[in-house]
Amino acid sequence: MSRTQRDRLVDLRGEVAALYRRNRQRGYAAWCRKAYDYVCPSIETYPFQWFWDSCFHAIVLSHLDLERAEAELRTLLLGQQPDGFIPHVTYWTAEVPPTGPYLVSGPSPWQSASMQPPVLAEAVAAVADRGRGGAYLREVLPAVRRYYDWCDRVRDPDADGLIAIVEPHESGMDQTPSYDAYLGVNGEDPAAFETAWRPVAEAIALAGHRAEPIFAADRFIVEDVAVNVLYAENLRILARLLGDVGDAAGAAALSERAKRTVGSLLTQCWDPADRDFHALAGRAERPLPGNTVAGLLPIVLPDLPAGVVDRIAERLADPTDFGTTFPVPSVSRRNPAYRGAPAGGSVLWRGPSWINANWYIARGLRRHGADALATRIEESSLQLVETSGFREHYDADTGRGYGAREFSWSALVLEMAEANP
């Protein structure tokens, strides 16, 4: 590592540590009589605990402070329900729980009834690997296993290995254009999405939040590509962790589950005609439009056919597709929905680049030996943060930052820099 690179890393560590001190939320929640300690995504915009954000924060904390990394995940697991489910938001610090036409409230008004991309196992792995290893795993793995068993039992009613989300926020990519036509979204202003989301939330409430009637109502059911890639990746990691603590049967079962998910992604979601992955909607499993970053995430899968790897790498290198100046745009430039700045002034996942997606894609590229492309994405991500700060997302051409300020998961650039100095 050259001197300059080392200096950059030292500065970055300092800035991330300061950000994570500012965004730390610690206290006691009277509504559940529990103490919490987590990093919020952004004090101004997102003061509560979000599921996949929290997993990313624990991964970042595993480089800085292992006790806090454990506390982050311990707080997340406090919300786990007896059936294994973990809510996508817990309103720890709210004086009164927020309400809204499209917020799906869950086990209590302080917790949502939605899931988010299931990235818990990799967060646990990062914290265990850099910290207390097997001793930590033995404490947390039973809860983690219960969570993934919930995903399998409750969210995969057709048992094809692909789990289904039942409302758009569950994808973590709230306003992705892939769902526009399915939802009947008309226009790009935030109100258009709220109007489209309301009946979905109402159908869930009408079904009493129970999976069976939700699936029977068939209002919004999506086997999403990004969600299932991350599911498969995390099942594989969980299998490894179970093996590490001597649970050979658990490891074999989870590894089988991961294989089934990957198999279905390739047979059901990959379209050899347009050479893109497509989410599947409804009981009829109709393919939804692609041309978004979700279709690149399969690069994370180690056992991807060479032709698919090449296609994803090609698209990432093509400036008219995903190879922008500050990659990786959340939507292809070829997609008519693409906007450099957030569409409608504030809607998400319709063009700008996000650091968590970049992190996964760079990891996948390295796995398949495409190191130069990976380095380009890692370097560009670091530049985005150095120039525009820890923002929620960035214009993929100009690098200008948008959305929430002091956004905690953008600190994943530290993980990229530490892993590949």
Query: Which residues, numbered 119-178, are part of the site for ligand GLC (CB under 6 A)?
Result: 172, 174
Q: How would you class 410 by CB atoms within 10 Å of its CB: exposed for 0-12, middle for 13-18, buried for 19 or more?
A: buried
Stretch that binds ligand GLC, among 46-54, 63-71, 92-100, 242-250 (CB under 6 A): 46-54
Please report how close the Cβ of residue 53 comes to ligand GLC at its closest, in angstroms.
5
Q: Which residues, 6+ apart, have CB-to-CB distance to 59 below 8 Å? A: 69, 122, 123, 126, 127, 412, 415
CA within 13 Å, CB half, 220: 27
Please name the amino acid found at residue 322. F
Stretch that binds ligand GLC, among 24-32, 50-58, 64-72, 325-333 (CB under 6 A): 50-58
- Cis before 328? omega within 30: yes
What is the rounded radius of gyration, in angstroms, for the C-alpha atoms of the chain? 20
Please report how close the Cβ of residue 43 comes to ligand GLC at its closest, in angstroms.
12
Which stretches within 320-396 are classed as H helix? 355-367, 371-388
Determine phi and psi for 46, rounding to 5 degrees: -135, 80
- Nearer to ligand GLC among residue 129 and residue 174 (C-beta): 174
3 C-beta neighbours (distance < 10 Å), count: 7
- Nearer to ligand GLC among residue 136 and residue 338 (C-beta): 338
Please report how close the Cβ of residue 392 comes to ligand GLC at its closest, in angstroms.
7
Q: Is position 52 an interface residue for ligand GLC (rule: CB under 6 A)?
A: yes
Q: Is position 43 an interface residue for ligand GLC (rule: CB under 6 A)?
A: no
Please report how close the Cβ of residue 198 comes to ligand GLC at its closest, in angstroms.
17
Residue from the set 20, 38, 46, 150 that interacts with ligand GLC by CB under 6 A = 46
- Nearer to ligand GLC among residue 46 and residue 326 (C-beta): 46
Say how far apart CA 112 and CA 105 lie, in whole Å. Answer: 4
Q: Is position 50 an interface residue for ligand GLC (rule: CB under 6 A)?
A: yes
Please report how close the Cβ of residue 59 comes to ligand GLC at its closest, in angstroms.
14
Helical pair 371-388 and 306-317, crossing angle rounded to 10 deg: 40
Q: Is position 352 an interface residue for ligand GLC (rule: CB under 6 A)?
A: no
- Nearer to ligand GLC among residue 268 and residue 410 (C-beta): 410
- Nearer to ligand GLC among residue 297 and residue 348 (C-beta): 348
Query: For residue 27, what are the β-bridge partners?
Result: 36
Q: Is position 390 an interface residue for ligand GLC (rule: CB under 6 A)?
A: no
Say how far apart CA 67 and CA 63 lie, in whole Å. Answer: 11
Residue from the set 38, 41, 123, 182 that interacts with ligand GLC by CB under 6 A = 41
Q: Is position 61 an interface residue for ligand GLC (rule: CB under 6 A)?
A: no
Q: Is position 348 an interface residue for ligand GLC (rule: CB under 6 A)?
A: yes
Please report how close the Cβ of residue 158 comes to ligand GLC at its closest, in angstroms.
26
- Nearer to ligand GLC among residue 346 and residue 398 (C-beta): 346
The span from the first CA to the last CA of the chain, in angstroms, equals: 6
- Nearer to ligand GLC among residue 39 and residue 253 (C-beta): 39
Binding residues for ligand GLC, rule CB under 6 A, total 8
Say how far apart CA 363 and CA 371 lie, in whole Å. Answer: 9
Residues in the chain: 421
Q: Scanning the structure block, which residue is given the tokens 């917020």?
A: 103
Contact assessment for residue 413 and residue 385, using Cβ atoms and an 8 Å cutoff:
yes
Which residues of this protein are in contact with ligand GLC, per CB under 6 A? 41, 46, 50, 52-53, 172, 174, 348
